[in-house]
Amino acid sequence: MNEIPITRAVLISVDTGAFDAEVSIDELEELAATAHAQTVAKVIQKRPALDNATCVGTGKLQEIRQLCEAEDADLLIFDFELSATQVRNIEDIVKVRAIDRTTLILDIFASRARSSEGRLQVELAQQKYRLPRLAGMGVSMSRLGAGIGTRGPGESKLETDKRHIRRRIAVLERELAQLKKRRELTRCRRKKDDVLTAAIIGYTNVGKSTLLNALTGAGVLAENMLFATLDPTARSIELPDGRSVLLIDTVGLIRRLPHNLVEAFLSTLEEAANADLILQVCDASSDEADEQIAVTRQLLSELHCEDVPVLTVLNKCDRLDMIPHVDEQPDVAAVSALTGYGFDKLLVKMSRLLTPTAVRLQLHLPFDKASLLSVIRQDGKVFSETYTESGIDADVLVDQKALHLIQPYRQAAQS
Q: In what order do the strands lie in the sheet with 7-15?
A: 37-46, 7-15, 75-78, 98-100
* Per-position DSSP letters for 377-415, written without gaps between them: HHHSEEEEEEE-SSSEEEEEEEEGGGHHHHHHHHHHHH-
pLDDT at 140: 46
37, 30 contact by CB (below 8 A) = no
CA atoms within 13 A on the CB side of 357: 20
pLDDT reported for residue 154: 53
Strand boundaries in 145-208, DSSP class E? 196-202
CATH of 358-414 given 1.10.1760, 3.30.70, 3.10.170, 3.40.50: 3.30.70
Amino acid at position 118, single letter:
G
Of how many residues is the chain composed? 415
pLDDT along the chain (415 residues), means of 10: 73 89 89 89 92 91 94 93 89 92 85 75 84 60 54 54 84 86 74 77 83 76 48 78 83 69 65 83 88 82 82 92 87 92 93 81 87 83 87 84 79 44
Non-local (6+) Cβ contacts of 2 within 8 A are none
Q: DSSP for 6-69, please give it.
A: PEEEEEEEEE-SSS-HHHHHHHHHHHHHHTTEEEEEEEEEE-SS-BTTTBS-HHHHHHHHHHHH
Q: Where are the beta strands (DSSP E) in 69-129?
A: 75-78, 98-100
Q: What is the pLDDT of residue 263?
A: 66
Q: Please, where in the chain does CATH 3.40.50.300 lie? A: 194-353
- pTM attached to this predicted model: 0.66
Angle at 203 between CA 300 and CA 326, to 5 degrees: 80
E strand or H helix at 222: none
Determine contact, residues 277/355, Cβ cutoff 8 Å: no
Cβ-contact 404, 411 below 8 angstroms? no
Q: In the prediction, which pLDDT does 170 show?
A: 92
Residue 312 forms beta bridges with which residues? 280, 332
Go through 11-41 and write b for each residue having 16 or more CB atoms within 10 A of its CB, e for each that does not.
Answer: bbbbbeeeeebeebbebbbbbbebbebebbe
Residue 143 has a pLDDT of: 47
State CA 287 to chain mean position distance.
20
Residues 6+ apart with CB under 8 A from 346: 311, 313, 333, 335
Q: Class of 7-104 per CATH?
A: alpha beta
Phi and psi angles of residue 238, each rounded to the nearest 5 degrees, phi first: -105, 135
Residue 269 zone, left/alpha/beta (φ > 0; ψ -120 to 50; rest): alpha
The answer to whether 280 touches 332, Cβ cutoff 8 Å, is: no
* β-pair type (234-238, 98-100): unpaired
| Residue range(s) occupied by CATH 3.40.50.11060 in the chain | 7-104
For residues 108 and 129, is the Cβ–Cβ distance under 8 A?
no
Burial 201-234 (b: 16+ CB within 10 A, else e): bbbbbbbbbbbbbbbbebebebeebbbbbbbbbb
194-353: CATH, from 3.30.565.10, 3.40.50.1220, 3.30.300.210, 3.40.50.300: 3.40.50.300
pLDDT for res 158 = 47
* Per-residue model confidence (pLDDT) at position 241: 80
Q: How far is CA 336 from the centre of its chain?
A: 19
Q: Check residue 144 and give its pLDDT.
A: 47
**C-alpha separations of 51 from 32, 300, 327 in Å:** 24, 34, 52
CATH 3.30.70, the chain: domain bounds: 358-414
